[in-house]
Amino acid sequence: MTDATYNSETTSALLYLNGISVSFDGFRALNELSFVIEPGEMRAIIGPNGAGKTTMMDVITGKTRPDTGDVFFEQGKYDLSTLDETEIATLGIGRKFQKPTVFEMHTVEDNLQLALKNDRGVKATLFWKSSPEQEARIDEVLETVRLKALRHRVAGSLSHGQKQWLEIAMLLAQDPKLLLVDEPVAGMTDVETMQTAELLREINRTKSVVVVEHDMAFVRELGVKVTCLHEGSVLAEGSIDQVSANDRVVEVYLGR
Ligand SMILES: Nc1ncnc2c1ncn2[C@@H]1O[C@H](COP(=O)(O)OP(=O)(O)OP(=O)(O)O)[C@@H](O)[C@H]1O
């Protein structure tokens, strides 16, 4: 069933998934999934392995086309389910995959310059005429991810956590409206994990963020609304305390 409260004409949501289903060889990875991300929001998505979290990100970014349902972006202005990956990236949706994919042989600064060159937006094309502006942008994102002192270091020599932050910086350089982040703290130390929560909270001052993560200490530190997926649908939604106290969430996920 689709959610009748919202439609493409009236929604004020930044992102509105409406009755999304995706099947692989008859197996339903997403099952009439509906949820809403408000402008400026940061949302944490949790759920057991196979709940459909990655498939949901794939649908939002155009990697997987849903069998049914709509994905409205920016107050219903666009239906992402009709667009391809490049068009969706151009609208301002940036995705960070779980494993860092920085260019190891290049410096931190060169990685950011490459990210700027990859920016397919119109703004970027104009922006490329102005080198001081480009430098200022690199300074700004390095400041945000606290890698300014490592600007001339080769990316391959960074710690795992620093590589993750560099990759987040590469996305920020492209100035997305919505950032999708997949398991950012997997493999990080506890200190790096808490620093990443702080970093995402800072990024969320100006951008909307959807973060998929299994680390509950990290999710608690984010302090945002949590959605728990299970079998391709929303099982529970609310504060971390509300979701953690939900009997079904404990049964299928937290209690395991
Ligand atoms: N391309 C595919 N072909 C067949 N089945 C798939 C495909 N992609 C995902 N699935 C199946 O769909 C289900 C949902 O997978 P998905 O990766 O979205 O879950 P997830 O919540 O991201 O899990 P995890 O926490 O392990 O990353 C799983 O059972 C998975 O095996």
CB environment 192-208: b (16+ within 10 A), e (fewer): bbebbbebbeebbeebb
Distance between CA atoms of residues 61 and 48, nearest Å: 22
Angle subtended by helix axes 160-173 and 108-118, to nearest 10: 30
Distance 49 CA to ligand 1 centre (A): 8
Looking at ligand 1, which residue's alpha carbon is closest to its atom 16?
52
Q: Which of 20, 23, 24, 56 has most ligand 1 atoms within 8 Å of CB, for mutation? A: 24
CA of 53 to the centre of ligand 1 (A): 8
CATH class of 1-92+209-256: alpha beta
Q: Which residues line ligand 1 (CB under 6 A)?
A: 24, 29, 47, 49-55
Query: In 10 A of CB 1, how many CB atoms?
Result: 6
Write down the pLDDT at residue 118.
61
Q: What is the pLDDT of the chain when averaged over all its residues?
A: 90
- Taking residues 178-194, what's their average pLDDT? 95
Q: Whose C-alpha lies nearest to ligand 1, atom 7?
A: 24
Q: Which atom of ligand 1 is nearest to the CA of 232?
A: 14
How confident is the model over 85-98, as a mean pLDDT?
A: 94
Task: Express each pLDDT in 41-61 by its tens digit.
Answer: 999 999 999 999 999 999 999
Ligand 1 centroid from CA 182, angstroms: 14
The pLDDT, as a whole number, for residue 105 is 93
- Spatial neighbors of 249 by CB under 8 A, at least 6 apart, are 228, 235, 236, 243
Ligand 1 atom at shortest distance from the alpha carbon of 57: 18
What pLDDT score was predicted for residue 6?
53
Which structure tokens are listed for 223? Answer: 């302090």
Pocket test for ligand 1, best of 17, 54, 64 (most atoms within 8 A of CB): 54
Q: Whose CA is nearest to atom 31 of ligand 1?
A: 50
What percentage of residues in the chain have a pLDDT greater than 90? 81
Q: Which atom of ligand 1 is nearest to the CA of 214?
A: 25
**Going by CA atoms, what residue is nearest to atom 2 of ligand 1?**
24
What pLDDT is recorded for position 231? 97
Q: How confident is the model at residue 4 (pLDDT cuts 50, 70, 90)?
A: very low
Q: Whose CA is nearest to atom 25 of ligand 1?
A: 49
pLDDT tens figures, 108-139? 999 998 888 765 454 555 455 547 888 888 99
Distance CA 22, CA 63 (A): 12
pLDDT tens for residues 7-51?
666 678 999 999 999 999 989 999 999 999 999 999 999 999 999
Q: What length is written for the chain?
A: 256
